[in-house]
């Protein structure tokens, strides 16, 4: 989108405005992927149950989705529930699923207004039928939009995604000799989408946690100590500004500015 689109919702003279003015709109990351971490710690700091951290995390999701769409990011992927997260207490898993359903129901109008295409990546067919129903509603109703793709990673694992892609490739009957990196990537859940240029992780952990393992091969990684429920527009803008200062070399030897080295 544009500087004006963003400034329309930012109080003039605010720190966010100063950050927006530092952005180079010709060098935006096409795809931003976020590992939302720290909900439990956010709650613990306030002597609240862990689920309150997840609940508070929804406000951060709203802020980041809307800001990304206004910025002109092509794809935003949020890691909401991993294949490993089933190991958490049943009550916590149930609350996460409930929050997800509520989020889709309450945000559908905003997604439509912002021309956002909602998608799910992961083994969503293994989720409860009521959750699948709500997800399908969100996916179907936003399918005709033409703006940002918003992927929620649910029951997602990077290794299972690669296995699923390999199975699909085999089932497609493609000759092994014809299977190159480009062709294989089309069988991933994110087939047809650009790979993440920027991977953000909140709450200070230096791990990729089985997230988009194939796709982040050349992503720039930005880690913040901010806990996910506290993450807001300002943090996203800081991440993008930091990204725009990186030299992306893709294994080459000549440092080149982000814009020149775009895929």
- Catalytic positions are 37, 85
Q: Which secondary structure element, helix H or strand E, spans residue 100, and what is its range?
A: helix 90-113
Nearest CB to ligand FPP, comparing residues 1 and 58: 58
Which position's Cβ is nearest ligand FPP? 40
| Distance set, CA 11 to CA 15, 16, 62 (Å) | 9, 8, 18
**Token output for 139:** 């996916």
Task: Provide the 10 A C-beta neighbour count for residue 22.
Answer: 12
The shares of helix, strand and coil residues in the chain, as percent rounded to the nearest 5, are 45, 15, 40
| Least distance between ligand FPP and beta carbon 55 (Å) | 8
For 89, phi and psi rounded to 5 degrees? -55, 145
Nearest CB to ligand FPP, comparing residues 96 and 149: 96
Distance, in Å, from the CA atom of 137 to the CA atom of 38, rounded to the nearest integer, reads: 29
| Least distance between ligand FPP and beta carbon 16 (Å) | 22
- Say what the alpha-carbon torsion angle 123, 239, 232, 31 is, to the nearest 10 degrees: -30
- Report the candidate in 30, 37, 11 with the shortest Cα–Cα distance to residue 201: 37
| Least distance between ligand FPP and beta carbon 34 (Å) | 10
Nearest CB to ligand FPP, comparing residues 25 and 86: 86
| Distance set, CA 107 to CA 104, 136, 137 (Å) | 5, 14, 12
Nearest CB to ligand FPP, comparing residues 50 and 248: 50
Q: Which residues bind ligand FPP (CB under 6 A)?
A: 36-41, 54, 57-58, 61, 78, 80, 85, 96, 99-100, 103, 152, 203, 228
| Least distance between ligand FPP and beta carbon 53 (Å) | 6
| Least distance between ligand FPP and beta carbon 257 (Å) | 33
Nearest CB to ligand FPP, comparing residues 151 and 244: 151
């Amino acid at each position: 989108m544009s500087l004006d689109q963003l400034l329309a919702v930012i109080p003039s003279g605010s720190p966010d405005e100063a950050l927006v003015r530092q952005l180079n709109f010709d060098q935006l990351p096409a795809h931003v992927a976020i590992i939302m971490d720290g909900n439990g710690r956010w709650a613990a700091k306030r002597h609240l149950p862990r689920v309150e951290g997840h609940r508070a995390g929804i406000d951060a999701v709203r802020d980041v989705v809307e800001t990304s769409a206004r910025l002109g990011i092509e794809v935003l992927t949020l890691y909401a529930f991993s294949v490993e997260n089933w190991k958490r207490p049943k009550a916590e898993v149930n609350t996460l699923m409930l929050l997800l359903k509520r989020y889709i129901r309450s945000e559908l109008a905003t997604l439509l207004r912002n021309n956002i295409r909602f998608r799910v990546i992961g083994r969503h067919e293994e989720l409860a039928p009521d959750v699948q129903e709500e997800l399908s509603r969100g996916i179907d109703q936003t399918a005709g939009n033409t703006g940002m793709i918003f992927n929620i990673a649910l029951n997602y694992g990077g290794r299972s995604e690669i296995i699923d892609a390999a199975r699909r490739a085999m089932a497609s009957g493609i000759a092994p000799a014809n299977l190159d990196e480009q062709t294989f990537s089309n069988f991933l859940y994110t087939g047809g989408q650009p790979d993440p240029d920027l991977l953000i992780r909140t709450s200070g952990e230096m791990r990729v946690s089985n997230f988009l393992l194939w796709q982040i091969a050349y992503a720039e990684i930005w880690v913040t100590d901010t806990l996910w429920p506290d993450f807001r527009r300002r943090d996203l803008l800081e991440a993008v500004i930091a990204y725009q200062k990186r030299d992306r070399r893709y294994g080459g030897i000549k440092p080149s500015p982000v814009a020149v080295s775009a895929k």
